[in-house]
Amino acid sequence: MFNTVLFPIDQSRQAVETAAVALRLAQEQGSRLVLLSVVEEGQDATAVAELLEQAKQRFAGAGQVCEVIEREGKPAFVIGDVADEINADLIVMGTRGIPLESDQQSTAARVIQLAPCPVLVVP
């Protein structure tokens, strides 16, 4: 059902917890798993590249091959664009601690509005 799963990853604690969900889904569905990191203005690109490599190795250790994409820009817009480019069937992401019903709009809430496919938000 989910041929391609997009997993946007960042340096938050929620991303580490969400990785287990993304991994389980990809393995159960036999999905192509794509890791995405979005480097925002002012972020250390080296730290982001290290994070992606660590995540890729963690997934490989669990027997899941994954692709890695690194982009620059505003996270919600880039996530939506990449999901469209790779024909993602599902985006799996965390909330980064901002409740979806909050007045402050989280990246997850923006992705839900912009995504070309279903979004699984892991609290």
- Report the CATH number that the domain containing residue 84 is assigned in CATH: 3.40.50.620
Determine, yes or no, domain membership for 112.
yes
What is the number of other CB atoms lying within 10 angstroms of the CB of residue 89?
17
Write down the pLDDT at residue 96.
Answer: 66
Determine, yes or no, domain membership for 21.
yes
Determine, yes or no, domain membership for 88.
yes
Range of the domain at 93: 7-122
Determine, yes or no, domain membership for 1.
no
pLDDT score of 99 more than 60: no
Phi-psi map region of 83: left, alpha, beta (phi>0 left; psi -120 to 50 alpha): alpha
- Its pTM stands at 0.90
Q: Chain-centre distance of CA 121, in angstroms?
A: 10
Q: What is the pLDDT of residues 30-79, one digit of tens each?
A: 999 999 999 888 888 888 788 888 889 999 999 999 999 999 999 999 99
Determine, yes or no, domain membership for 70.
yes
CA distance 6 to 2: 10
Domain count, the chain: 1
Determine, yes or no, domain membership for 2.
no
Helices (H) then strands (E): counts for the chain = 4, 5
